[in-house]
A and B are shown apart, each in its own frame.
Chain A
């Protein structure tokens, strides 16, 4: 059963600690994305990766870091430098660009709600 998973669903951390959010997909997708969603707001792109071992900053990358060592995995680290880390984090994946017939729709995981106190 193909899909995209995020763990954990809820995460609590003390201010000043780094925390890593997991994202795994078995859809064989090349592209993966991390978004942040704040209450009553849309999605803001943090980082994205179009292929293994490559990633680009999105609109709000400051205070975050990622890695893409495997096609299936795209973990996001929220560092202590992120000023307001409490939010709902969504991971998504999509088929890579350049594939014939690709409609580039993104498939989302269930999200991780991070609370930092």
Chain B
């Protein structure tokens, strides 16, 4: 079945850029998303990209999509301690039966 994979941990220094990577298997993915989860809270949608795009920028966030390699990345510029959280990659496509498939999440640690 469809799968989304992410590395589990990433540690960066405050002020540096963070890059969180994700790979997916569903070649018919239509939308790909990045969600953020702070401790003890629900998930918050950060941004999403349509599959016919290869880049989307929103303030400090840049999403890159390599559809050929089924690779998605989220770059956070000037990472702050408030960015420390779990980041989930997710995809939605026709083969998912209207279900969104989530990765296991990448825990981002930002060191002051």
Contacts and interface: CB of A to CB of B under 8 A. Distances in A.
A111 B42 contact: yes
Contacts of B98: 31, 48, 50, 97, 104
Main secondary structure of the interface of B (DSSP, over half): strand
B87 to A, nearest CB: 11
Interface residues of A, number: 24
B100 A104 contact: yes
B46 to A, nearest CB: 10
Interface of B: 8, 30-31, 33, 35, 40-45, 48, 50, 88, 92, 98-100, 102-105
14 contacts: A31-B98, A41-B104, A43-B43, A43-B102, A48-B98, A50-B98, A92-B42, A103-B48, A104-B30, A105-B33, A106-B43, A108-B44, A110-B41, A110-B42
